[in-house]
Structure 1
Amino acid sequence: MGLARGSVFFLLLVLGIGFAIQNDTPVALKYYFGLETPPLPLFLWALLFLLLGLILSGLWAFFSKIGLHSRVRQCRRAIADLEKERNRIIEERRNHEN
């Protein structure tokens, strides 16, 4: 598994370096209302947007996980309450039978 992962990483690294070498022409991104970014090489724009996507997806996953943890906590409380109720009913039946 480690060899396969290392090989994939090396391949992506080589492809990324090749992409950077081939796309070093400065590019300015144009927005609405005449806004324009400073010219940066295309590979830097690609890298910046890749990093932005990684950060945003990490934040999304973090907040989703927090929401899931609170839901799990609620479910565990509900289970504990239901188990108490079940045990109370079982005890009542045992006492009623005796």
Structure 2
Amino acid sequence: MWRWLLAFGLLLSVPCYGETTINVGPESEGGESPSLSFCQLRFYEEENGRLYCNWAVNFRYACFVSYPSDKILQAGSKISEPEVVGECDNGEPIIKLFHY
């Protein structure tokens, strides 16, 4: 019995060479995922490295928020420049912005 345990212990202690690690899924660099935010063009303002607007999570909500929000984005977090994507019922242009 002791021989089997000794042999098993020796097998576990033998290093395995040529091991391959396979990662499934996208590789993460540990940062945040990109986000998409919407706001009314008239509220969009860049000042001192900050982006101010009535940021909303979707187009429809951006039409209903009629004042700048407390959410401030860093200008360095922009992935793309603001782009007009449509108008609200009252004709107010809505922009989208990809950012981190």
Q: When the two structures are superposed, what TM-score results if normalisation uses the length of structure 1?
A: 0.23
**Comparing both structures, which one devotes a greater share of its residues to strand?**
2
Greater radius of gyration (CA) = 1
By relative contact order (CA 8 Å, sep 6+), the higher-ranking structure is: 2
